[in-house]
Amino acid sequence: MEKTILLQSIDGLWREHLVTLDHLSKVVGWRSIAQRDPLNEYKQEAYELFRALLTNMRELVTTQLSHVVLQPRLVAPPAPDLSCIRETHIDPLTGENDADGGDTIADSLGAVGSDPSLRPVDPKLLVGVSRNAPCPCGSGKKFKHCHGAF
């Protein structure tokens, strides 16, 4: 919070300072009429303006920080895990799941063997199988699209 207030204060005060210096550069030439060197006058005035800028910045930041009221954040409860929820719409006449494209009731409830790629396969069978060979699990897919997928 302190950094934010400090940066905003510096930004605003620096812009004002640049506008003031621009105005000073335009009017400092009139001091040559009073037999004074405009360059030395500009340096002197610019230094005084910069010191005033630092003083104003310290006061502004201190004032704003003294008015800050911190409020604790409320921690939101973690979101429930919805990965196991599947969409189902069982047709009462056929018993098929319309949402998944025609699975039966047993398949929509997660019966073992519904997806061949989910069947447990002995890891020894997977060693040395070519990527384009049929998968040893019996799914009918190529090994690279079934159990060989990275």
Domain 2-66 classified CATH 1.10.3060.10?
yes
Q: Alpha-carbon distance 39 to 71, whole Å?
A: 52
Answering whether pTM is above 0.75, one says no
pLDDT band at 111 (very low <50, low <70, confident <90, very high): very low
Domain with CATH 1.10.3060.10 in the chain: 2-66
Residue count (the chain):
150
> What integer pLDDT is reported at residue 116 of this predicted model?
52
Whole-angstrom distance, CA of residue 117 vs CA of residue 138: 9
CA distances from 141 to 47, 64, 71, 122 (A): 80, 68, 58, 17
- Check residues 123 and 5 and name the one with the higher pLDDT: 5
* 96-97 vs 103-104, strand pairing mode: antiparallel
The whole-angstrom separation of Cα 76 and Cα 43 is 57
pLDDT at 45 over 90: yes
